[in-house]
């Protein structure tokens, strides 16, 4: 395992840093596909009963939250998979991609921990933790680290990736599995952890939107930091820094 | 102040609209494709194998106490078979109803409600989970399916238990709209698998499957056939109705409904 990133000198004083190993890039794109399909098919499944509850059971005449007017689907067809009402189909899409998502995600987390990539690339140092406020202020003003500083993930970026990887994604998987009547027979502590099956369903729904929020911020950050540079990095692995005019 | 959209913006709008409709029609074609549908169906096999491995034969679905029983229940699918034959049975309090047990068994049975009530029973307060996403908790009492099958004597070739119901959920020309379900022997022999004749200490109400319904606590509601008239032990369900092992299975739903 390389301790220091491989580097290439380009023309015009620019340098290319090998930032994303192949495993990371593959997982990133597979994950993007899985999360897209899981969201669209999840909304299809949600449309079958567009109400949310807390606890074990549904209180039909007093849902905690009901979405839609009752006429027509809660989420429109263009945002569901399949694009027409089809709970059986939505479930097949959802569970097929859930399997890919869980297996590839589990393998990736194992790799990231064993290779110590989490420690090298994602964990925040004490100094970074102290300057989190400053980093946030820079982000709000759309001032992104340039040049040498752009070699590493900045503290907010690290924090958001950590929250996604060790917070939102596991929460999504666990709340999803908790809804399974089969697994409930063996792992009932999960149901107790979430406070009931209907609570788990509600958590599953809102965590999905938290991941959508992550995606929106992720896209804004890519746009603001230079979509070309960022896209090249996550496709080829090479992140270009420096030069007269930083590439946008 | 409104400005006329620049040609560049117009171009961008058109490009986006084109890309959008292209993506949508691609989605349509993907979701409609026979090959895609059958490939996606693999998830059911993975889920079944892994859940069977994790659960084993005897892991019990959680059971609750009296105070956890829901205030509200919901019935789905057929809420009243409403055929002449069924209505006659219901009017007589199902005294004339007989459960037929046949197929690959050594001793075919014909059982009245009273016969079933005198067989080894089990009472359980469990959560009913519908494929649509909702749940309720209720108390069920019924005859253990394992005891009934032991009495009938399963032939060695028997692999599945099929439940034929009194209700027709979809009007079809070939009669494949009649409700039926099938389970394998692992589920049939599970201690919580019962033929319920009572719900919340009262005779099973019609919307919930009177006079007899299946309780299969480790799977979703659509597996739990209501209005049961006949039970057959079979080697395969490929030759029954449309061949997928159940009314909803014939319409694309998974045969193994543990998730």
| pLDDT-based confidence at residue B17 (cuts at 50, 70, 90) | confident
Q: Is A93 exposed, middle or buried (0-12, 13-18, 19+ CB in 10 A)?
A: buried
- Pairing type for strands A7-9 and A51-52 reads unpaired
Residue B136 CA to chain centroid, in angstroms?
16
B19 in contact with chain A, both atoms CB, cutoff 8 A: no
pLDDT (0 to 100) of residue A170: 97
Among A133, A105, A86, A106, smallest CA distance to A32 is for A105
A201 vs A71: which has the higher pLDDT = A201
B73 vs B10: which has the higher pLDDT = B73
Give per-residue pLDDT as tens, B26-51.
Answer: 778 887 788 898 899 999 999 999 99
Residue A128 has pLDDT above 50, yes or no: yes
Rounded CA-CA distance B169/B79 in Å is 10
| pLDDT-based confidence at residue A144 (cuts at 50, 70, 90) | confident
Please state which of the ranges A71-80, B56-65, B114-123 shows the lowest mean pLDDT.
Answer: A71-80
- Enter the DSSP assignment of B95: S
Average pLDDT value for residue range A122-146? 84
Interface test with B, best of A73, A74, A185, A195 (most B CBs within 10 A): A185
Rounded CA-CA distance A133/A131 in Å is 5
Distance from CA of B190 to the nearest CA of A (A): 12
Measured from the Cβ of residue A58, the count of other Cβ atoms closer than 10 Å reads 27
Give per-residue pLDDT as tens, A213-234.
Answer: 999 999 998 998 889 999 999 9
Rounded CA-CA distance A156/A124 in Å is 9
Across all residues in chain B, what is the average pLDDT?
Answer: 94
Residue A70 has pLDDT above 80, yes or no: no
Give per-residue pLDDT as tens, A84-122.
Answer: 999 999 999 999 999 999 999 999 999 999 999 999 989
Q: Is B57 exposed, middle or buried (0-12, 13-18, 19+ CB in 10 A)?
A: exposed
Average pLDDT value for residue range A179-204? 98
- Pairing type for strands B99-103 and A51-52 reads unpaired
Residue B205 has pLDDT above 60, yes or no: yes
In the β-sheet with B109-111, what is the strand arrangement from edge to edge? B109-111, B99-103, B228-234, B160-168, B178-184
pLDDT (0 to 100) of residue B15: 80
Of A57, A78, A181, the CB nearest to B70: A57
Average pLDDT value for residue range A22-27? 94
Rounded CA-CA distance A200/A192 in Å is 10
Across all residues in chain A, what is the average pLDDT?
Answer: 90
pLDDT (0 to 100) of residue A5: 60
Give me the phi and psi of A74, to 5 degrees please: -65, -45
pLDDT (0 to 100) of residue B2: 47
Domain definitions of chain A by residue range: 22-49+64-242
pLDDT (0 to 100) of residue B145: 98
pLDDT (0 to 100) of residue A26: 95
Task: Check: CB of residue B215 under 8 Å from CB of residue B142.
Answer: yes
A192 vs A142: which has the higher pLDDT = A192
| pLDDT-based confidence at residue A36 (cuts at 50, 70, 90) | very high
Measured from the Cβ of residue A120, the count of other Cβ atoms closer than 10 Å reads 12
pLDDT (0 to 100) of residue B144: 98
Measured from the Cβ of residue B186, the count of other Cβ atoms closer than 10 Å reads 14
Measured from the Cβ of residue A68, the count of other Cβ atoms closer than 10 Å reads 14
Among B105, B125, B121, smallest CA distance to B113 is for B121
Which residue matches tokens 């919930």? B208
- Enter the DSSP assignment of B154: B
Chain B residues 71-100 with CB within 8 Å of chain A: 71-72, 74
Chain A residues 174-203 with CB within 8 Å of chain B: 179-186, 188, 191, 197-198, 201
Three-point CA angle A98, A100, A106, nearest 5°: 95
CATH 3.20.20.370 fits A22-49+64-242, yes or no: no
Residue B249 has pLDDT above 90, yes or no: yes
Q: Can you spell out the DSSP letters for A29-74?
A: HHHHHHHHHHHHHHHHHHHTS-EE-SSSS--TTS-SEE-S-SSS-S
Residue B73 has pLDDT above 50, yes or no: yes
Chain B residues 57-76 with CB within 8 Å of chain A: 59-62, 64, 68, 70-72, 74
Domains of chain B, each with CATH number or no CATH: 61-251 (3.90.420.10)
Task: Check: CB of residue A87 under 8 Å from CB of residue A80.
Answer: no
Among B221, B247, B244, smallest CA distance to B44 is for B244
Residue A2 has pLDDT above 60, yes or no: no
């Amino acid at each position: 395992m390389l301790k220091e990133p491989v580097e290439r000198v380009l023309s015009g004083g620019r340098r290319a840093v090998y930032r994303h190993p192949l495993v990371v890039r593959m997982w990133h794109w597979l994950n993007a596909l899985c999360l897209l399909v899981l969201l669209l098919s999840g909304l299809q499944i949600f449309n079958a009963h567009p109400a949310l509850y807390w606890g074990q059971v549904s209180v039909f005449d007093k849902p905690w939250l009901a979405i839609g007017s009752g006429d027509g689907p809660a989420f429109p067809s263009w945002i569901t998979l399949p694009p027409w009402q089809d709970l059986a189909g939505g479930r097949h899409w959802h569970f097929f991609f859930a399997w890919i998502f869980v297996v590839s995600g589990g393998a990736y987390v194992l790799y990231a921990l064993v290779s110590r990539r989490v420690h090298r690339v994602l964990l925040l140092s004490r100094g970074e933790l102290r300057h989190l406020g400053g980093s946030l202020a820079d982000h709000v003003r759309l001032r992104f680290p340039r040049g040498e500083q752009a070699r590493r993930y900045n503290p907010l970026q690290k924090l958001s990736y950590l929250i996604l990887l060790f917070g939102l994604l596991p929460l999504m998987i666990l709340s999803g599995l908790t809804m399974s009547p089969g697994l409930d027979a063996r792992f009932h502590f999960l149901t107790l952890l979430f406070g009931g099956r209907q609570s788990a369903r509600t958590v599953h729904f809102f965590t999905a939107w938290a991941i959508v929020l992550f995606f929106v911020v992720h896209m804004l950050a890519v746009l603001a930091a230079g979509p070309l540079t960022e896209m090249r990095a996550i496709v080829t692995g090479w992140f270009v820094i420096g030069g007269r005019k930083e590439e946008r | 102040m409104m400005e006329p959209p620049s040609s560049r913006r117009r171009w961008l709008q058109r490009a986006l609209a084109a890309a959008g409709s292209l993506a949508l029609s691609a989605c349509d074609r993907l979701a409609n494709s026979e090959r895609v549908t059958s490939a996606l169906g693999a998830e059911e096999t993975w889920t079944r194998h892994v859940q069977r491995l994790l659960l084993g034969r005897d892991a019990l679905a959680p059971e609750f106490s009296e105070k956890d029983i829901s205030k509200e229940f919901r019935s789905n699918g057929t809420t009243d078979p409403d055929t002449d034959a069924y209505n006659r049975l219901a009017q007589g309090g199902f005294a004339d109803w007989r459960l037929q047990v046949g197929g690959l068994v050594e001793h075919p049975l014909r059982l009245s409600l009273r016969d079933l009530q005198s067989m080894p029973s089990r009472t359980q307060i469990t959560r009913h989970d519908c494929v649509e996403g909702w749940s309720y908790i209720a108390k069920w009492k019924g005859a253990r399916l394992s005891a009934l099958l032991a009495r009938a004597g399963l032939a060695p070739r028997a692999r599945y238990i099929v439940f034929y119901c009194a209700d027709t959920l979809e009007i079809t020309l070939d009669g494949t709209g009649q409700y039926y379900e099938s389970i394998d022997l692992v589920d049939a022999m599970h201690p919580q698998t019962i033929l319920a004749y009572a719900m919340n200490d009262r005779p099973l109400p019609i919307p919930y499957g009177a006079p007899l319904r299946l309780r299969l606590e480790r799977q979703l509601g659509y597996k739990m056939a209501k209005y049961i008239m006949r039970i057959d032990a079979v080697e395969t369900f490929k030759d029954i109705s449309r061949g997928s092992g159940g009314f909803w299975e014939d319409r694309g739903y998974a045969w193994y409904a543990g998730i």
